[in-house]
């Protein structure tokens, strides 16, 4: 059913693990994912690009670069503003500054039971 459409595009390159790895060098790849992904969703599911939320997570749930395509009507896990970074915004940010995601402080939520949160506690940073 299209109300909870949730698709993922996986990048073939294994050296790209998260948003932090991206630079302007990757703009052709990202633009291709955006364009081809929108076209594929429209062709196969008849959902127009204007009805899609296309984003990357930071921190990702697994470290192999992937892009989420969800229906706007679906409140997908992790689609909220503090975790999801819209692909169109990522493209714009990298076009302005090639190393944007190496320089930028990125806020993200952590649950109390997550290992990363425990590491922050051990380091006295939470």
Closest CA to 57 of 83, 34, 90: 83
Q: What is the pLDDT at residue 108?
A: 81
Q: What is the pLDDT at residue 74?
A: 80
Residues catalogued as catalytic: 66
What global pTM score does this model have?
A: 0.87
Segment 6-23, tens digit of pLDDT: 999 999 999 999 999 999
Q: Are 72 and 49 in contact (CB under 8 A)?
A: no
Regions of the chain short of the pLDDT cut 70: none
Q: What is the pLDDT at residue 50?
A: 95
| Pairwise CA distance, residues 78 & 39, whole Å | 24
Fold of 6-123: HIT family, subunit A (3.30.428)
CB-based burial of residue 42 (10 Å sphere; 0-12 exposed, 13-18 middle, 19+ buried)?
middle
Question: For the chain, how are helix, strand and coil distributed in percent, rounded to 5?
Answer: 40, 15, 40
Q: What is the pLDDT at residue 32?
A: 98
Q: What is the pLDDT at residue 67?
A: 97
The full set of domain ranges for the chain reads 6-123
Q: What is the pLDDT at residue 111?
A: 80
Q: What is the pLDDT at residue 53?
A: 94
Q: What is the pLDDT at residue 60?
A: 86
Q: What is the pLDDT at residue 125?
A: 84
């Amino acid at each position: 059913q299209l109300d909870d459409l949730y698709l993922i595009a996986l990048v073939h390159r294994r050296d790209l693990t998260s948003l932090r790895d991206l630079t302007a060098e990757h703009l052709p790849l990202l633009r291709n994912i955006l364009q081809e992904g929108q076209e594929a969703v429209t062709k196969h599911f008849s959902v127009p690009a204007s009805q899609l939320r296309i984003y990357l997570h930071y921190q990702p749930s697994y470290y192999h670069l992937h892009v989420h395509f969800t229906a706007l009507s679906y409140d997908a896990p992790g689609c909220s503003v503090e975790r999801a970074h819209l692909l169109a915004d990522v493209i714009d940010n990298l076009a302005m500054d090639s190393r944007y995601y190496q320089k930028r402080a990125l806020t993200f939520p952590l649950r109390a039971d997550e290992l990363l949160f425990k590491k922050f506690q051990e380091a006295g940073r939470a």
